[in-house]
Structure 1
Amino acid sequence: MKKIQKVYLSGLGAIGSSYAGKLHDMDPDSIRIIADRERIERYTKNGIAINGKVYNFQYLAPEEDAAPADLIIIAVKQHHLEQAIKDISNFIGDDTIILSLLNGISSEEILGRTFGMEKILYSFCVSTDSVRIGTQVKYSVLGTIVFGEKTNKEYSQKVLAVKDLFDRAQIPYSIPEDMIREQWWKFMMNVGLNQVSAILRAPYGVFQKVKEARELMEMACNEVIDIATKIGINLTRDDIDKYFKIIDTLSPNGKTSMLQDVEAHRKTEVEIFAGTVIELGQKYGILTPVNNMLYKMIRAMEQAYN
């Protein structure tokens, strides 16, 4: 197993910043942030404050010459993935591992078509309540990175290398035996929680207390369960209950990424949530009226931004 020493990160949002901070705490020279020069200037002016601690990260413009990364972590939104692929291309070596923390169920295959699936590990982040406003990031729960190959009965060399890094950096992680099922579980929860929170303008506290908010979330999730069952992925109602228990551990004032996008009048990821559910429903002959409505409502909200 080759030890990971050089980590490059694309995407310094709430989640990316939080994990970059943990890597910087381990070793300031272990982490570099890939960003365009305008962002680098903005980030370096005042630093990035994470839970009140200011971090002066090392930055790397996409066109710069630098040694290939041992690990590249991508933490952008889905609609920024195409640009992220261009930005990281200069730093991919023969042994580079790519970890995509993007929401949805398609980013690994998109990255694999460009760089080769042999470089990719499947991954996502769960149980975080991190929020970023400007260059200020706050969280009470860092969140767990779930990662691995498609199946992990035995750990590959890539998985062992990332596991070793996360142990050294004290980053919480989980390596499930069936990674694809876990990805669909996270996708189901994004479809329910993220979208309903954006429409209700509701932080986690609303879902902890308001029965009707949880029911709306369940209705959206149930359509994902129907599709998953059709294609042979074993998601059940128990998986929704599992996520409700996670929500109950988060800060009541914490917000989903989609709610943060709506409040900041940014483009949301509705296409990879409701849009994907609608597309798969049409493909497999499953009705998706809840996600059809959520899609129209969120797209209308986006177009109504001033």
Structure 2
Amino acid sequence: MRIAVIGAGGVGGYFGARLAAAGHDVTFVARGRHLEAIRRSGLLVRSPLGDVRTPPSSAVADIGELGPTDLVIVAVKLWDTEDIALRLSSADLGDPHVLSLQNGVHKDLILRSHLGEERVLGGTCFISAFIEEPGVVVHNNTLQKIIVGPYLATQATMSEAVHTAFRDAEIDTEPSTDIEKVIWEKFVFLVGLSATTAAVRRPIGVVRSNDRTRVLLSEVMQEATEVARASGVKLDETFVQTQMDFCDTLPATMTSSMHNDLEKGNRLELPWLSGGVVDLAEPLGIAVPRNRTVADILAPYIEGDSSPSM
């Protein structure tokens, strides 16, 4: 399979390198020093499951440099989704299917609006990986899971082919017949984790052990769950409690990428997490005061805080 990976960070870099090691023709779209390093020496992934390195020159600077492609994997930050969708719509790549491994529920809505419903598969991933230095991605533990599924019956064959490609690359992969529900389930959890750890500025262990912030965590997820149900996604009545029980099993030091970005002064994905819950809830007439408050508290930091004003 000819695969283009848009974004060679922790997610795109890890899964793309595994697919390349399994024999697929993988090209990354990267930038800056990371791009230069991949062109020079390939992309190195360090992992407890075994290190892999892609061939040199396995990256390009722009989508327009890609040739005919069977599958495009989108693994950029959410704020780049619109731009990527526009560039994909105008690129001469043949007629590839597109699989986003980004966070949130807005990603596929944006991609489908520009590329058409037929071309966009549903998927989500579970992994902790990051760029350690240009040309090097570090996988933090053994979790490396992807769930993929079709939105339309006509996508079933391609969805199965993508599932097989990940499975053959020794990635923990599951097919889904209700991928929208799976994506929403992850979204609800991620909104809860990101909202509370970022607002409290502490890891999950602190959040869950304090009576008031534990209620905050539960209510943030409950609001997102109500939006999901109003959007036609059938989440179980016990879903939030199940997620709270899961939070109790997480390492006390675990936090969210949004909390990490906040601490580093980086741009935040807030508009597509708690802010996204607010935007989705408004036309549905659903009150989401907890998510709205989190979005308001963190609003000054959305564009980053590397040079705060006095």
- Which TM-score tier does this pair reach, normalised by the shorter chain? 0.7 to 0.9
- Per-residue deviation at 1:249? 6.4
- Per-residue deviation at 1:50? 2.5
Alignment pair present for 1:280 and 2:251? no
Please state whether the residue corresponding to 2:91 is helix, strand or coil: helix
Q: What is the rounded CA distance, in whole Å, between the counterparts of 1:212 and 1:15 in structure 2?
A: 33
Identity %: 24
- Per-residue deviation at 1:87? 5.0
- Per-residue deviation at 1:86? 4.9
> Scaled by the length of structure 2, what TM-score is found?
0.82
Q: What is the rounded CA distance, in whole Å, between the counterparts of 2:81 and 2:172 in structure 1?
A: 25
- Per-residue deviation at 1:78? 1.0
Q: How does 1:194-273 map to 2 (within 5 A)?
A: 194-203=194-203, 206=206, 213-244=213-244, 247=247, 253-273=253-273
Instruction: Quote the residue 1:150 is aligned against.
Output: 151
Cα 1:17/1:208, change in 2 over 3 Å: farther
1:52-97 CA-to-partner distances (Å, cap 9, x unmatched) read 8473451123266443111110011110113323554535213x11
Q: How does 1:9-158 map to 2 (within 5 A)?
A: 9-27=5-23, 30-36=25-31, 39-44=34-39, 47-51=43-47, 53=51, 55-57=53-55, 58-62=58-62, 65-86=65-86, 88=88, 89-90=90-91, 92-94=93-95, 96-126=96-126, 128-135=127-134, 136-150=137-151, 156-158=156-158
Q: What is the rounded CA distance, in whole Å, between the counterparts of 1:217 and 1:83 in structure 2?
A: 33
Q: What is the rounded CA distance, in whole Å, between the counterparts of 1:178 and 1:275 in structure 2?
A: 25
Q: What is the rounded CA distance, in whole Å, between the counterparts of 1:63 and 1:234 in structure 2?
A: 37
Q: What is the rounded CA distance, in whole Å, between the counterparts of 2:300 and 2:125 in structure 1?
A: 28
Cα 1:227/1:10, change in 2 over 3 Å: same
Instruction: Quote the residue 1:297 is aligned against.
Output: 297
Most deviating of 181-190 and 81-90 = 81-90
Q: What is the rounded CA distance, in whole Å, between the counterparts of 1:114 and 1:60 in structure 2?
A: 23
1:193-212 CA-to-partner distances (Å, cap 9, x unmatched) read 12222233344555676665
Does the aligned pair in 1 maintain the 2:181–2:234 contact within 8 Å? yes
Please state whether the residue corresponding to 1:130 is helix, strand or coil: strand
> Partner letter of residue 145 of structure 1?
I
Does the aligned pair in 2 maintain the 1:151–1:179 contact within 8 Å? no
> Partner letter of residue 11 of structure 2?
I
- Per-residue deviation at 1:158? 0.9
1:86-120 CA-to-partner distances (Å, cap 9, x unmatched) read 554535213x1110112121222322232222111
Unaligned runs of 5+ in 2: none
Cα 1:13/1:66, change in 2 over 3 Å: closer
Does the aligned pair in 1 maintain the 2:38–2:59 contact within 8 Å? no
> Scaled by the length of structure 1, what TM-score is found?
0.83
Does the aligned pair in 2 maintain the 1:75–1:101 contact within 8 Å? yes
Question: Number of matched residues?
Answer: 298
- Per-residue deviation at 1:241? 4.1
Instruction: Quote the residue 2:185 is aligned against.
Output: 185
> Partner letter of residue 79 of structure 2?
H
Cα 1:30/1:260, change in 2 over 3 Å: farther
> Partner letter of residue 36 of structure 2?
E
Unaligned runs of 5+ in 1: none
Cα 1:192/1:86, change in 2 over 3 Å: same
